[in-house]
Amino acid sequence: MSLLQVRDVTRRFGGLVAVDDVSFDVHEGQIKAIIGPNGAGKTTLFNVVTAFDRPDGGTVTFDGVDLTGSRPHRIVSSGIARTFQNTQLFDEMTARENVMAGAHAVTKAGFLATALRLPWTVREEREVAKEAGRLIRLVGLDEWEDVPAADMPHGLRRLLEIARALASRPRMLLLDEPAAGLNTAETTALGEALYRIRDEGATIVIVEHDMGLVMEVSDEIVVLDQGRKIAEGPPRLIQKDPSVIAAYLGEEDVDEL
């Protein structure tokens, strides 16, 4: 059975159909990419899957449970984590503290009890710090653990966001344009981090414009255009699909596809 089932999802904004009757599955352990031109509906679809937005129709089922219209915290406790198209870190906190803040969404103590340093939280806190260090190394940020997020280059901040999302121990991780603004070396590091995360057992759904990265890491690709799913399949078939090529005509990155 697939881990995530998206069925007939539609989201309208006034007269605009941002996501139009989209269905697809994500299997456990897969890296699945969602691609499409600007405005195709990728982020809107992410928002519906992670309950930041409600669909006008259709269902989202995760591990056999209908999560349509759940609240975001319920999504996190079900084992889904995400990053955003725009970086959302605590600038004044170090890399490790940012990841620890991500863990507090799911630890027993929570943020307030930890801040008050209640005795029973101290041991848990030590565990959280240790796990945060491990996740920072998993995404390749070994050198940056004690550096404030504000002092990190943009590309490394994106990797840090992924480590923070992993702190909630998700079974499925959704990444919205993680390679945006990354240089070649950082994009390579990102690809390697995605493999390591997948090898630890997480399922990954990635929205991405960097076609080199998408073609390299994805097991399967869903292509959206003007809200509709126009293709789905492995990279080698998507690259040759005439409807996909047509959708990207006029887009700058058509050469890369």
Ligand X SMILES: Nc1ncnc2c1ncn2[C@@H]1O[C@H](COP(=O)(O)OP(=O)(O)OP(=O)(O)O)[C@@H](O)[C@H]1O
- Residues lying near ligand X in the complex (CB under 6 A) are found at 13, 16, 18, 36, 38-44, 85
Q: What's the min distance (Å) between Cβ of 60 and Mg ion? A: 18
x/- string (CB under 5 A) for Mg ion, residues 8-47? ----------------------------------xx----
| Residue 40 DSSP label | S
Q: What's the min distance (Å) between Cβ of 178 and ligand X? A: 13
Q: Which is nearer to ligand X, 19 or 138 (CB)?
A: 19
Enumerate the H helices of 52-174 as residue ranges: 72-78, 95-103, 110-115, 119-138, 154-166
Strands of the 203-207 sheet, one edge to the other? 80-82, 172-176, 203-207, 31-35, 220-225, 228-233
The SS3 of residue 21 is strand
Q: What's the min distance (Å) between Cβ of 63 and ligand X? A: 25
Q: What's the min distance (Å) between Cβ of 238 and ligand X? A: 16
Which residue sits closest to Mg ion, CB atoms considered? 43
Q: Which is nearer to ligand X, 57 or 148 (CB)?
A: 57
CA gap 156, 52 in Å, rounded? 25
x/- string (CB under 5 A) for Mg ion, residues 53-92? ----------------------------------------
Under 8 Å CB-to-CB from 91, ≥6 apart: which residues?
A: 148, 149, 150
Q: Which is nearer to Mg ion, 19 or 156 (CB)?
A: 19
The SS3 of residue 202 is coil
